[in-house]
């Protein structure tokens, strides 16, 4: 299934497909969801997919250190498969540089309790020492037995010259 949502996951210059320079760096991060609020979008239809937004606060550890505040829109089919698209602002550090940046993400899952996907730094969104940050990443997310959510991210990044 291919999903594109009004440019949310692709920029007008297709920056999601931009090739990183030779000096780009790849890091791994662990992500723990600290809070998640769910908001139904419109009335749910019996037998149809659930459509809702989730507002999340996440803690990043590893290559990215800091807090993320995300808003994701999800479509979950009755069999548990899903697609998600969203935005997130991360405030923290990357390679010891502090500031904030915004990313867009797209994900999918074929069963309840897990998903995977991709994300891209929005060009020009970096602040402080993260001004000029570019990059993209991939994630896998799973629901733990206690109901909490955790993710593992890879992140390839560079800075504009």
d(CA 37, CA 32): 15
Count of CB atoms situated within 10 Å of the CB of 121: 24
d(CA 114, CA 80): 9
Closest Cα to residue 35, out of 52, 59, 53? Answer: 59
Q: What are the extents of the domains in the chain?
A: 23-159
The pTM score is 0.86
Could you say which residues of the chain have pLDDT below 70? 1-17
- Is it true that domain 23-159 has CATH number 3.40.50.720? no
Alpha carbon dihedral 13, 16, 22, 23, in 10-degree steps, equals 110
């Amino acid at each position: 299934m291919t999903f594109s949502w009004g440019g949310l996951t692709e920029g007008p210059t297709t920056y999601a497909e931009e090739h990183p320079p030779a000096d780009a760096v790849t890091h791994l991060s662990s992500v723990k969801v600290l809070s998640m609020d769910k908001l139904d979008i419109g009335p749910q239809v019996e037998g149809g997919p659930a459509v809702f937004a989730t507002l999340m606060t996440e803690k990043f550890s590893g290559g990215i250190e800091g807090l993320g505040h995300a808003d994701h829109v999800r479509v979950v089919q009755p069999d548990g498969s899903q697609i998600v698209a969203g935005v997130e602002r991360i405030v923290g550090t990357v390679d010891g540089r502090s500031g904030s940046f915004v990313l867009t993400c797209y994900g999918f899952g074929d069963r309840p309790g897990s998903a995977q996907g991709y994300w891209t730094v929005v060009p020009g969104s970096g602040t402080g020492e993260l001004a000029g940050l570019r990059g993209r990443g991939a994630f896998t997310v799973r629901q733990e037995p206690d109901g909490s959510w955790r993710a593992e991210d890879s992140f390839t990044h560079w800075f504009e010259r």
